């Protein structure tokens, strides 16, 4: 999308730009919950100025407590084509809205958030309802429309075939304000100066842009003091979401776009894959799982990547009979022998021409078409592949039937790869009301929703889990997402951390990465450092491209504590022990729309300015801080916010705030527990992610004061008890615990 201006004052070359200059009319909506503003693009000083003039209509509406929508429209007669985001999927909450007028302008209040419109000089200010906190504003020359190419006179736009039309707003950026979130992006953590699409501010608010179409953002880049949001079309709508804390912003965002879905406890265990282009068959799979079990890293979920199907046939949902002659029997045997608990397979929404499914899908109209009626095909990825048209209900039914065939063979979960290469030109969808440009992004939502709901229908509401590559707003309802195709380098590992932090700040509770990196074979030291980081993610998967990720391929050292096999076993065991804490905190994260792990430091410590810049460390839930190591030497620098912190491994305490440097082997890293924490750990004898989280547990009290508490949950995530510290510093009631449990102060 082009930039609209050349510096501060001039329009960009061949660009016509107009700005709203004044609020001419301010009208109250009939329901008393919104304002309608008529904004001419020139100050009206006489009746003659009302002629031959563009206007921008702005609708400001109280959507929910702490949420106000803003819609800027040029021509209201333009078609509003779908698809549209599914907003308030849990139901629209009641909102207390009020409109008042004073010498400062007209104020619309939506619970804790308010907006004041000063018509005298085009000033639209967003602030807390009590007036104590200024958030952002739309000021002079901050709401506008643009044409490209620039018409020689306004009458030329009567024929719009030769013009592109854009709408934009520019919200103000305060001194020192930082911007975060923006989905899974691997660049700089603070997004000021970047061009991206969704944000959360250090000033206590977030912005959600309500369109699946392409959005262009200039965050302090076109103008240093503004965030410019632009789309092609006649309407631009976004929601401002008040906190004031990041936790409150994310909770309200999840009310707007959907709470994260719940995933089963077995999914938190170790995942192992075949890798991508490696050579494998039924015997390879069995040998890998046996080797992992022998080396103390039992696998909870085994994943078959693309070549479970024959080459040139993806995705036809048929196992390669030469390599996997009895998939149902083998899957059952793997589970019965205890080599894995669950099985996952790879799919994508593309149907290769050579595969058995193509002719059926093409004949029945289940594939996206070109405008001349041909099936839309190309040779990128799979030769002659078509794209499943999920706007066709019959195609959805057919696709789900194919998935059910996999479930019948024992497949428990699905890796929904791809979904991002969705054509926008020369495309005709079954649903003629959709805009192909919007479908490009929204397709990921439909694709993952269909597969996730198919899993729910087969296995139960809380037993569905995906490994999804693509996402858009609302896709947090269909977990989980992973950051795929990273390189096997320390730089890529750091990029992965930034990606996970960004996705967590965008309303997603669960995230994973390719441990060891995807491209290339990692040196043993990178593999081990990545294992430590990856086993502290909510979900942990060993996956590569052209090389396997079993530890004995990385080095031949199965015995020493610093070898790959023992390192993986240690971190797998640690995650297993953390499951009572992780699974309980997962339920709280879902309810609040928060990330479970790779939780950005600013979520827990928003009043600490340093926390908004920390992109190489994260919180695991609210109570454990982790700082991955990116150096072979084991040296790491990390920051501890205010308070007393205790090393999980050594029991050493440190006082924050402050920066610290440590050197670690491969079996540890800076893993610090926050003071006033009740940490419930599984027994050292527990294996994997699934066991009774109330039996034979170890309860550690880290400087726990009266009122500190921990939730106890069962294997379905239901709360079965609470451990709370009393006035004497001891846990008041341990009746929910079973077996030989211990409680100790640390």
53-99 pLDDT, tens digit each: 999 999 999 999 999 999 999 999 999 999 999 999 999 999 999 99
pLDDT at 217: 85
Report, as an integer, the average pLDDT of 370-398: 98
CATH of the domain at 675: 2.60.40.1180
Does one domain contain both 630 and 573? Answer: no
In this structure, what token pair is assigned to residue 110?
A: 């939506």
Q: How far apart are CA 711 and CA 698, in angstroms?
A: 14
Residue 521 lies inside a defined structural domain of this protein: yes
Residue 193 lies inside a defined structural domain of this protein: no
Report, as an integer, the average pLDDT of 266-280: 97
Residue 601 lies inside a defined structural domain of this protein: no
- Which strand (E) or helix (H) includes residue 304? strand 301-304
pLDDT at 121: 84
Residue 152 lies inside a defined structural domain of this protein: yes
Does one domain contain both 582 and 712? Answer: no
Report, as an integer, the average pLDDT of 483-499: 94
Report, as an integer, the average pLDDT of 284-297: 97
- For 519-532, how does the pLDDT look when each residue is reduced to its tens digit (9 = 90+)? 999 999 999 999 99
By mean pLDDT, which of 223-227, 290-294, 624-628 is the weakest? Answer: 223-227
Helices and strands of the chain, counted as H and E runs: 11, 39
pLDDT at 559: 87
CATH of the domain at 516: 3.20.20.80
3-state SS, residue 723: strand
Distances in Å between the alpha carbon of 327 and those of 304, 314, 623? Answer: 11, 17, 43
Report, as an integer, the average pLDDT of 268-280: 97
Does one domain contain both 643 and 588? Answer: no
Does one domain contain both 403 and 472? Answer: yes
Residue 176 lies inside a defined structural domain of this protein: no
| Count of domains forming the chain | 3
Does one domain contain both 440 and 562? Answer: yes
Report, as an integer, the average pLDDT of 722-746: 96
Domain that holds residue 640: 618-745
Q: How far apart are CA 545 and CA 492, in angstroms?
A: 15
Catalytic residue among 420, 428, 608, 696: 420
Active site residue 420: yes
Does one domain contain both 312 and 437? Answer: yes
Does one domain contain both 735 and 656? Answer: yes
Mean per-residue pLDDT over the chain, rounded? 94
pLDDT at 531: 99
548, pLDDT greater than 70: yes
In this structure, what token pair is assigned to residue 343?
A: 């099985």
By mean pLDDT, which of 172-181, 236-245, 355-364 is the weakest? Answer: 172-181
Q: How far apart are CA 64 and CA 96, in angstroms?
A: 8
Does one domain contain both 317 and 409? Answer: yes
Residue 360 lies inside a defined structural domain of this protein: no
pLDDT at 180: 87
417, pLDDT greater than 90: yes
Q: How far apart are CA 479 and CA 448, in angstroms?
A: 9
Query: What is the number of other CB atoms lying within 10 angstroms of the CB of residue 48?
Result: 9
Look at the chain and count its residues.
746
pLDDT at 358: 98
Residue 400 lies inside a defined structural domain of this protein: yes
Domain end call among 576, 592, 608: 592
pLDDT at 503: 93
Catalytic residue among 222, 417, 585, 604: 417
3-state SS, residue 329: helix
- For 649-700, how does the pLDDT look when each residue is reduced to its tens digit (9 = 90+)? 999 999 999 999 999 999 999 999 999 999 999 999 999 999 999 999 999 9
Question: Considering the chain, what percentage of its residues have pLDDT values greater than 90?
Answer: 89
Q: What dihedral angle (degrees, nearest 10) is formed by the CA atoms of 687, 692, 696, 701?
A: 100
pLDDT at 188: 61
- Which strand (E) or helix (H) includes residue 405? helix 393-408
CATH of the domain at 31: 2.60.40.1760
Burial class (CB in 10 A: 0-12, 13-18, 19+), 156: middle
Residue 369 lies inside a defined structural domain of this protein: no
Decide if 56 contacts 144 (C-beta within 8 A): yes
153, pLDDT greater than 90: no
Q: Is the dihedral of CA 183, 500, 387, 402 positive or negative?
A: negative
Token pair 């631009």 is found at 236
Does one domain contain both 709 and 741? Answer: yes
Active site residue 417: yes
pLDDT at 183: 66
Catalytic residue among 28, 232, 431, 485: 485
- For 298-308, how does the pLDDT look when each residue is reduced to its tens digit (9 = 90+)? 999 999 999 99
- For 154-208, how does the pLDDT look when each residue is reduced to its tens digit (9 = 90+)? 666 677 778 899 999 999 999 999 888 766 665 564 543 333 356 899 999 999 9
Domain end call among 257, 289, 315: 257
pLDDT at 196: 39
Active site residue 336: no
553 Cβ neighbours under 8 A, 6+ residues apart: 547
This prediction has a pTM of: 0.95
Does one domain contain both 508 and 622? Answer: no
Question: Which of 252, 188, 260 is CA-nearest to residue 220?
Answer: 188
Domain end call among 526, 558, 592: 592
Does one domain contain both 704 and 737? Answer: yes
* Phi, psi dihedrals of residue 532, rounded to the nearest 5°: -60, -45
Q: How far apart are CA 687 and CA 685, in angstroms?
A: 6
pLDDT at 192: 39
Task: Calculate Rg over the CA atoms of the chain.
Answer: 27
Does one domain contain both 582 and 644? Answer: no
């Amino acid at each position: 999308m082009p930039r609209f201006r050349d510096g501060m004052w001039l329009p960009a070359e061949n660009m016509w730009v107009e700005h709203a200059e004044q609020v001419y009319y301010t009208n109250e909506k009939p329901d008393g919950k919104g304002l309608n503003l008529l904004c001419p693009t020139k100050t009206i000083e006489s009746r003659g100025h009302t002629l031959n003039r563009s206007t921008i209509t702005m609708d400001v509406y109280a959507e929910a407590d702490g949420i106000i929508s803003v819609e800027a429209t040029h021509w209201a007669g333009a078609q509003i084509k779908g698809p549209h985001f599914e907003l308030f999927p849990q139901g629209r909450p009641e909102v207390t809205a009020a409109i008042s007028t004073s010498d400062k302008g007209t104020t619309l209040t939506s619970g804790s958030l308010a907006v004041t419109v000063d018509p005298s000089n085009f000033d639209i200010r967003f602030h807390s309802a009590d007036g104590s906190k200024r958030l952002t504003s739309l000021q002079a020359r901050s709401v506008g429309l643009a044409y490209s190419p620039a018409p020689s006179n306004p009458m030329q736009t009567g024929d719009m075939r030769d013009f592109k039309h854009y709408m934009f707003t520019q919200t103000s950026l305060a001194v020192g304000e930082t911007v975060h979130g923006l989905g899974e992006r691997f660049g700089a953590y603070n997004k000021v100066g970047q061009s991206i699409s969704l944000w959360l501010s250090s000033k206590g608010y977030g912005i959600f842009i309500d369109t699946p179409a392409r959005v262009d953002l200039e965050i302090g880049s076109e103008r240093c003091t503004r965030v410019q949001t632009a789309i092609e079309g006649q309407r631009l709508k976004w929601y401002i979401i008040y906190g004031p804390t990041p936790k409150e912003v994310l909770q309200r965002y999840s009310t707007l776009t959907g709470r994260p879905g719940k995933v089963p406890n077995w999914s938190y265990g170790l995942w192992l894959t075949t890798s991508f282009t490696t050579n494998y068959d039924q015997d390879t799979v069995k040998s890998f799982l046996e080797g992992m079990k022998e080396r103390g890293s039992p696998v909870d979920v085994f994943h078959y990547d693309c070549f479970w199907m024959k080459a040139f046939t993806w995705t036809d949902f048929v196992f390669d009979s030469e390599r996997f002659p009895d998939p149902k029997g083998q899957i059952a045997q793997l589970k019965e022998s205890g080599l894995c608990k669950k099985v996952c397979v790879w799919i994508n929404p593309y149907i290769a021409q050579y595969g058995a499914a193509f002719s059926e899908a093409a004949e029945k109209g289940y594939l996206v078409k070109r405008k001349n009626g041909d099936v839309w095909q190309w040779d990128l990825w799979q030769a002659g592949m078509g794209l499943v048209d999920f706007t066709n209900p019959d195609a959805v039914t057919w696709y789900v039937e194919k998935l059910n065939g996999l479930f019948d063979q024992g497949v428990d979960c699905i890796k929904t790869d791809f979904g991002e290469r969705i054509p926008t030109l020369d495309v005709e969808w079954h649903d003629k009301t959709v805009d192909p440009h919007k479908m490009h992004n929204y397709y990921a939502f439909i694709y993952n929703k269909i597969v996730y709901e198919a899993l729910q229908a087969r296995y139960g509401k809380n037993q569905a889990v995906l490994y999804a590559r693509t996402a858009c707003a609302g896709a947090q309802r269909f977990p989980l997402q992973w950051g795929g195709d990273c390189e096997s380098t320390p730089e890529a590992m750091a990029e992965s951390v930034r990606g996970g932090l960004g996705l967590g700040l965008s309303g997603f509770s669960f995230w994973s990465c390719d441990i060891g990196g995807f491209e290339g074979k990692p040196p043993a030291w990178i593999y081990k450092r990545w294992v430590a980081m990856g086993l502290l993610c909510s979900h942990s998967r060993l996956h590569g491209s052209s090389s396997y990720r079993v530890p004995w391929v990385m080095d031949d050292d199965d015995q020493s504590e610093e070898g790959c096999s023992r390192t993986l076993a240690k971190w797998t065991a640690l995650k297993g022990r953390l499951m009572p804490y992780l699974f309980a905190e997962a339920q709280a994260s879902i309810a609040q729309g928060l990330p479970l792990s790779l939780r950005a430091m600013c979520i827990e410590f928003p009043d600490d300015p340093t926390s908004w810049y920390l992109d190489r460390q994260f919180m695991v839930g609210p109570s454990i801080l982790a700082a991955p190591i990116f150096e072979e030497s084991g040296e790491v620098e990390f920051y501890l916010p205010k308070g007393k912190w205790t090393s999980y491994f050594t029991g050493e305490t440190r006082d924050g705030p402050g920066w610290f440097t440590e050197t670690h082997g491969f079996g540890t890293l800076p893993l610090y527990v926050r003071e006033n924490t009740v940490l419930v750990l599984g027994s050292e004898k527990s294996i994997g992610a699934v066991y009774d989280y109330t039996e034979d547990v170890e309860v550690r009290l880290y400087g726990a004061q009266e009122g500190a508490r921990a939730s106890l949950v069962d294997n379905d995530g239901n709360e079965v008890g609470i451990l709370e510290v009393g006035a004497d510093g001891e846990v008041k009631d341990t009746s929910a615990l079973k077996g030989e449990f211990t409680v100790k102060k640390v």
